[in-house]
Structure formats: structure tokens, C-alpha cells
């Protein structure tokens, strides 16, 4: 009985193993990439509208959103 308890894995390890398994979460990653693509399209539209309106404060905020979205995309695709 003590031997079976030592071979059990913790719930945190089980979650990490499930999160890293590409076959299990394949559809989830596809949906996530589609969501990031739609976010990029929306941010490009917002950035173009901000440049047209000549509001550079708005442009700065949208550039910050683009940077945050890009960092999240890179980190999630590692």
C-alpha cells in the first residue's frame, strides 16, 4: 500500500501533463489561434482608425494592446 502511494502523482502534475499534451488539447489550440487572429484583425482596424483621427494618445494605447497581445501569442505558442 505504501508503494502505490509513492507512485501516485499530485493533481498539479496531472494538470501540467494534460496541458502539455498536444493531442488532447489540439482543438483548444486551434480555437485559441483563431481568437488571436481575430484580435489581431480588430487591433489593426483600431490602429488604422486611430492614425486617421490623428489622436496619438489613442495610437499609443492601441500599440500597447498590440504589444500585450503579441507577447501573449508568443508565450502561448512556445
The rounded distance, in Å, linking the Cα atoms of 34 and 42 is 12
pLDDT score, position 22: 59
Q: Is the pLDDT of residue 3 over 60?
A: no
Match 498539479 to its residue by C-alpha cell.
12
- What pLDDT band is residue 67 in, cutting at 50, 70 and 90? very high
Residues 6+ apart with CB under 8 A from 40: 69
And the C-alpha cell for 54? 490623428
Residue-wise pLDDT tens digits, 13-61: 766 666 666 565 777 778 888 888 898 899 889 888 888 888 888 888 8
- Hey, where are the domains in the chain? 25-78
Amino acid at each position: 500500500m505504501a508503494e502505490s502511494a509513492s507512485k501516485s502523482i499530485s493533481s498539479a502534475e496531472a494538470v501540467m501533463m494534460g496541458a502539455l499534451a498536444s493531442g488532447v488539447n489540439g482543438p483548444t489550440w486551434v480555437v485559441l489561434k483563431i481568437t488571436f487572429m481575430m484580435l489581431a484583425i480588430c487591433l489593426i482596424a483600431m490602429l488604422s482608425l486611430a492614425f486617421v483621427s490623428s489622436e496619438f494618445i489613442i495610437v499609443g494605447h492601441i500599440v500597447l494592446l498590440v504589444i500585450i497581445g503579441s507577447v501573449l501569442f508568443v508565450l502561448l505558442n512556445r
